[in-house]
Amino acid sequence: MSDFKTKNCSQCAFSFAITAEDSIWYNKFDVCDPKLCPRCRAQRRLAFRNERSFYKRPCDKCKRDVVSMYSPNKPYAVWCHDCWFADDWDPKDFGKDYNPSQPFFEQVENIWRQVPKVALIHVRSVNCEYLNVCADNKNCYMIVESSNNEDSIHCYWIQKTRGCVDTSFSHECERCYESDDIYNCYQVRYSKGCHDCRDAYFLFDCRNCSDCIGCVNLRNKRYCIFNKQVTKEEYRKFLDEARLDTHTGVEKIQTQFEKFKATQPHKYAEAVNTVNCTGNYLKDAKNCIDCFHTYEAEDCKYALHAWRDAKDCVDTDTTGRGVQMVYNSHNTGINASNCICCAQCWGSMLLEYCSHCHDSQNCFGSTGLRKAKYCILNKQYSEEEYKKLKAQIVERMKRDEIYGEFFPPSSSAFGYNEACVQEQFPLTKENALAQGFKWEYHPRGTYGKETVDWGEISDSIRDFTTEDINKDIFACTACKKNYRIIPDELALYRKLEIPLPRVCPDCRHARRFVARGPNRLRTESCKCTVAHHAHGDAGCSITFKTAYPKEWNFLLYCEACYNAEVA
C-alpha cells in the first residue's frame, strides 16, 4: 500500500502529495483533504493579511482622521482603535440566522461586510504610533508584527528590543540598525544571521563577535576585518578611514562585503539545535517540516512564524506563543488552541472560520467578537443549540468537500497588491485577477512633494545639523515616494553614526525581506570539496533541502562540512 497519494491543485494544477503523515494530521483536525497545494494554501491565507499598506481615512464612528490598513474606498465601516475596543457596542448585534440554502462562505462574507473593522490592530502599547499586529510596546513608531519592545522605529517582527531602527526578525537586541535575524546583539549594523555580537558592521552568520567589519562565519572573534585578524589600532584606523558615518563610505564597504560573502561557505539553512526539521530560520525545533522562522516549536508542518511552545500547527502563518492544534489559519495570537481556518483571532480556542475574534471560544463563522461563546454568524446560542447547528453546518461542508478550505479569495478585504502575499508570491495585476484575487487601485503615499534634494544634503550624519527635521520631506531614490524622518529616528542615527537613509521605509523593508530568501525549499547537494573534511578527496555527496535560490549561486555546505569550516 502506498504511503502517499497525489492530487492536482485546484488553483495552479500542479500535482502535490498527501503523505500518510499528512492524512494523520487531517484526521486529527477532522477536515477534508485539501484541494490546494501547500504553496497555494499559503498564498490564499496571506491574501487576507495586510501588514504594511497604510492609508489615511476618517474613523466612521468618531470621525477623527486615523491611519488604517483599510483604504478609504473600502465598502466597510472602519473604526479607530479606541472606538473598536470600546464597550459601547456589541458585535453580536450583527448576528444572522444560518441559511442552509445559501453557501456558507457567502453568509460569512455578509457578516464580515457589516461588522466594523479596526483600523490598526494592537493592544497594551504606550506612546506608540502606527503599530499593526503588535502588543506590549512602548515609545515605538511604525513597527509591525512585534511585541515587548521599546524606543524602536520602522521594524518588523522584533521581540524585546530597545532603540533599534530598520531591524527585522530579531530578539533581545539594542541599538541595532538595518539588520535581520539577529539575537542578543548590541550596536550591530547592516548584518544578518548573528548571535551575541556587539559594536560591529556588515556581519553574516557570526557568533559572539565584537569590533568586526565585513566578516562571515566567525566565532568568538574581536578586531577582524573581512575575516582577517588585526590589532585594535589597525581596526580603529580602518574604521576611521572607512567613514561609515557617510553614505559613500557605507556603499563602498557594502559592495566589498557582498563580494567577500559570496566567496565564503553558507550553511544550507539557518537551523540551530533542531531535530528532524526542514525549512529555514529554525531554532530549538523538533519535527517541524517545511517550516520557516520557527522557534521552540514541535510537531508542526507548513508553518510560518510558529514559535515559543507552538505545537501541532499545520498550514499556519504566525501562531503566537503557546499555541496548539491550529490548522490553516493566520495570526492566532498567544495561547490559542483548536482553531481551524481562522484569521487574526487572538487568544481564542475552539474557533472555526472566524476572523478578528479575541479571547473567545466555541464560535463558528463569526467576526469581531470579544470574550464570546457559542456564536454562529455572530448570533448567540446556548451550548446545546450551538453544538447541534455547528454539526449540521460541518456535515454540509464535508459533503461539499470544503471543510478545512480557507475562505475564498473574493472574501478578502484587501487587494493582492496591498496584502503581504505580494512579498511571498508576487503577481501582476492581470495574473492576480485571473486567479480570483482582488486588486487595490487606491493610491498609497505621496510623490513629488519633497522639500529637500539629496544633492544638497551632507554625506555625513555628523554634519547634518537640522533640528526641526520633521518638517523635511525626502524622496526615495528607489521608488520616488516621499517620506519623513522623525526626530527620535534622527537621534538614533546620530548615536549610531548612521547616515540618513536615502530609500523609504517600505523599500528598506523589502530589501531585507528579499535577502531572506523565499519560503520554499528545493533539493541541492553539498558543494564542499575540502579534502581534510570527513568525505575526503572525493567531495561531499550529502544532499539537503534549502531555501536559497539556485540563481544566488552561493557555496552551500551541509551541516557537517559547514561546522568543520567554522569551528
pLDDT value of position 308: 86
Give yes or no for residue 123 having a pLDDT over 80.
yes
- 129-185 pLDDT tens trace: 999 999 999 999 999 999 999 999 999 999 999 999 999 999 999 999 999 999 999
Cβ pair 413, 74 in contact under 8 A: yes
CA 74 to chain centroid, in Å, comes to 24
- 238-294 pLDDT tens trace: 999 999 999 999 999 999 999 999 999 999 999 999 999 999 999 999 999 999 999
SS (H, E, C) 1-40: CCCEEEEECCCCCCEEEEEHHHHHHHHHHCCCCCCCCHHH
Helix 104-114 / helix 383-399 crossing angle, nearest 10 deg: 130
pLDDT value of position 536: 87
- 382-408 pLDDT tens trace: 999 999 999 999 999 999 999 999 999
Q: How many helices (H) and strands (E) would you count in the chain?
A: 12, 33
Give the long-range contacts of residues 36-41, CB within 8 A, separation 24 or more: 36/9, 36/10, 36/11, 36/405, 37/9, 37/11, 37/12, 38/290, 38/302, 38/315, 39/12, 39/425, 39/520, 40/9, 40/11, 40/12, 41/302, 41/315, 41/328, 41/406
- Grid cell, residue 138, equals 512602548
Give yes or no for residue 529 having a pLDDT over 50.
yes
- Grid cell, residue 97, equals 440566522
Give yes or no for residue 2 having a pLDDT over 70.
no
Percent pLDDT > 90 in the chain is 93
pLDDT value of position 270: 95
pLDDT value of position 352: 98
Read off the pLDDT of each residue in 313-322 and give the average, rounded to a whole number.
Answer: 92
- 410-463 pLDDT tens trace: 999 999 999 999 999 999 999 999 999 999 999 999 999 999 999 988 899 998
CA distances from 38 to 18, 392, 437 (A): 10, 28, 18
The conformation of residue 459, written as its DSSP 8-state character, comes to: S
- 192-236 pLDDT tens trace: 999 999 999 999 999 999 999 999 999 999 999 999 999 999 999
SS (H, E, C) 188-203: EECCEEEECCEEEEEE
pLDDT value of position 321: 86
pLDDT value of position 463: 86
Question: Is the whole-model pTM more than 0.85?
Answer: yes
Rg, the chain, Cα only: 25
Cβ pair 473, 482 in contact under 8 A: yes
The conformation of residue 160, written as its DSSP 8-state character, comes to: S
Residue 187 φ/ψ, nearest 5 degrees: 50, 50
pLDDT value of position 567: 64
pLDDT value of position 1: 39
pLDDT value of position 207: 97
Burial (CB count within 10 angstroms: exposed 0-12, middle 13-18, buried 19+), residue 127: exposed
Helix ranges (H only) for 197-243 are 232-242
Read off the pLDDT of each residue in 335-360 and give the average, rounded to a whole number.
Answer: 96
Q: What is the largest CA-CA distance in the chain?
A: 80
Q: Other C-beta atoms within 10 Å of 174: how many?
A: 18
Beta bridge partners of 174: 162, 186
CA–CA gap between residue 300 and residue 318 (Å, rounded): 12
CA distances from 101 to 97, 384, 396, 400 (A): 12, 23, 11, 13
The contacts of residue 400 (CB under 8 Å, 6+ apart) are none
- 72-92 pLDDT tens trace: 999 999 999 999 999 999 999
pLDDT value of position 219: 97
